[in-house]
Amino acid sequence: MHVKELFAKAHHEKFAIGAFNVANIETMRAIVEAAAELASPVLIESSPGETKWMGARNVISVARNFSSEYGIPIFVNLDHAETFDECMVGIEAGYDLIHFDGSALSYKENMEITKKVVSEAHAKDLMVEAEIDRMARKSSEVYKEQITIEELKKTFSDPQKVREFVQATNVDTMATLFGNIHGIFPTQPPLDIGLLQKICEVIPDTFLSLHGGSGIPDSQVQQAIKIGGVVKVNINTEMRLAFRQTLEKTLQENTKELAMYKVLPPVIDAVKGVVRKKIKIFGSANKI
């Protein structure tokens, strides 16, 4: 199955596929085991930093090996590449999807580079995701401070601009903002589902990607998926949190073991628990 067919199926049947970030093989194993247990297709993704750490070709090779070992569709997404060169690393390594995030650039410059990325990626039958609105937070972490609705509203996507951008660039997927934000906050204002509906109406044939999937209440994520445009939900912070907290606890309980692979199974289980929970929320179980 091509990833485009999977997205079309998700669009039609109103479920979303989880896009889970990786920076180590243990997290990859956790994602794949959870997805296999639930017979769910899955996206594995790496940001440029994570890609540099893992090696783009290693991410691809391990993902392909796991896919054949577990017999489930696994696609690989380059997450938040911010330059044309970073995109080319993913395109050349064989990523299935390339997310070019030009939201820090001017609208015009973003459009020009997105067009170039689309031309390179489509020549290899890869999908491209674009982004025009700047997230209020770039980093996937746990924040202590609150985020106000006023601050979030400044980042909201303008449906007309989104439509114009899609028409000009021919991207497959748009990462739009309607109250979603990277990271976890003590309290987070609700998603603007009405705005999401408007965005869906102006770009009915374009897939939508929901970033900042960690920390948004489950019912709201499900509502966003049911509207019909959101087929991909990015998750990073909740997995990082589970990894770190469980690793600290396991090391405290086991001060002598030197073979790290013997210490890591509970860490894998904790991350697996997050992925399992998300797959159920997104409705992608039994969709392979």
Q: Is 269 an active-site residue? A: no
Of 67 and 188, CB closest to Zn ion: 188
Q: How far is the CB of 130 from Zn ion (least distance, A)?
A: 13
> Which region, judged by CB under 5 A, interacts with Zn ion, from 89-97, 159-167, 203-211, 245-253?
203-211
Longest dimension (CA), the chain: 60
DSSP β-bridge partners for residue 98: 78, 128
Of 233 and 268, CB closest to Zn ion: 233
Which of 79, 96, 133, 172 is the catalytic position?
79
> Which region, judged by CB under 5 A, interacts with Zn ion, from 36-44, 161-169, 205-213, 257-265?
205-213
Separation CA 285–CA 186 (nearest Å) = 29
Of 188 and 234, CB closest to Zn ion: 234
> Which region, judged by CB under 5 A, interacts with Zn ion, from 26-34, 61-69, 207-215, 217-225?
207-215
Residues 215-244 that bind Zn ion (CB under 5 A): 234
Are 185 and 147 in contact by the 8 Å Cβ rule? The answer is yes
Tell me if 212 is assigned to a ligand binding site. Answer: yes
Q: How many residues lie near Zn ion (CB under 5 A)?
A: 2
Tell me if 180 is assigned to a ligand binding site. Answer: no
Of 211 and 276, CB closest to Zn ion: 211
E strand or H helix at 78: strand 74-81
Q: Which residue is nearest to Zn ion (CB)?
A: 211
Helix locations, the chain, DSSP H: 3-13, 25-37, 48-54, 56-70, 84-93, 107-123, 149-153, 159-169, 193-202, 218-227, 237-253, 260-263, 265-282
Q: Write the DSSP string, 79-145.
A: EEE-SHHHHHHHHHHT-SEEEEE-TTS-HHHHHHHHHHHHHHHHHTT-EEEEE-S--S--S-SB-SS
Tell me if 155 is assigned to a ligand binding site. Answer: no
Burial grade of 1 (CB within 10 A; 0-12, 13-18, 19 or more): exposed
| Residue among 229, 237, 240, 193 nearest 212 (CA) | 237
Distances (CA, A) of 188 to 3, 15, 85, 182, 238: 32, 24, 35, 11, 15
**10 to 49: interface string for Zn ion, x by CB under 5 A:** ----------------------------------------
Q: How far is the CB of 177 from Zn ion (least distance, A)?
A: 10
Q: How far is the CB of 136 from Zn ion (least distance, A)?
A: 12
Which of 11, 29, 211, 287 is the binder for Zn ion (CB under 5 A)?
A: 211
Tell me if 235 is assigned to a ligand binding site. Answer: yes
Tell me if 273 is assigned to a ligand binding site. Answer: no
> Which region, judged by CB under 5 A, interacts with Zn ion, from 85-93, 164-172, 193-201, 204-212?
204-212
Residues that bind Zn ion (CB under 5 A): 211, 234
**Residues recognised as catalytic:** 79
